[in-house]
């Protein structure tokens, strides 16, 4: 049975420690070989755009661009449909590998057999 870890980041630069924790936990799981689906919602949706992760700074935290790169290369990264629309973000705007999907896809993922969900 494949286990899926679904991590939803709800904070961005507005709550940097919570944001960093979401990225750190998800990327640590990916590095350990876990199947990870990482969701960018709320203010974290901005990190779906090129150059935004590079603007994030938090002392004593792993660089957000490195964590996001690991997630894009080895997991799945999704930006919330409504969150993206509220910020004027379209599929053409996001980094390669980021998909835009809504609540139905999130629910489908978290309800899968063996799935675990964390929300930060």
Given this model, what pLDDT does residue 2 score? 66
Q: CA angle 62-68-71, nearest 5°?
A: 115
Q: Is the pLDDT of residue 26 over 90?
A: yes
Structure token pair of residue 89? 């973000």
Q: What is the pLDDT of residues 62-78, one digit of tens each?
A: 999 999 999 999 999 99
| Gap between the Cα atoms of 108 and 103, Å rounded | 8
β-pairing, 98-101 with 76-80?
A: parallel
Instruction: List Cα–Cα distances, 101 to 29, 32, 38, in angstroms.
Output: 22, 26, 12
CATH number listed for the domain at residues 4-119: 3.40.1260.10
Tell me the pTM.
Answer: 0.95
Given this model, what pLDDT does residue 4 score? 96
């Amino acid at each position: 049975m494949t286990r899926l870890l679904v991590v939803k980041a709800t904070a961005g630069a507005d709550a940097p420690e919570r944001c960093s924790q979401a990225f750190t936990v998800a990327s640590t799981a990916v590095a350990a070989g876990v199947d990870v689906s990482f969701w960018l919602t709320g203010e974290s949706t901005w990190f779906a755009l090129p150059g935004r992760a590079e603007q994030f700074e938090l002392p004593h935290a792993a660089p957000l661009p490195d964590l996001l790169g690991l997630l894009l290369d080895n997991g799945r990264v999704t930006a919330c449909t409504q969150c993206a629309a509220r910020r004027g973000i379209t599929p053409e705007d996001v980094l390669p590998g980021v998909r835009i999907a809504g609540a139905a896809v999130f629910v489908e993922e978290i309800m899968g057999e063996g799935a675990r969900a964390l929300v930060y």
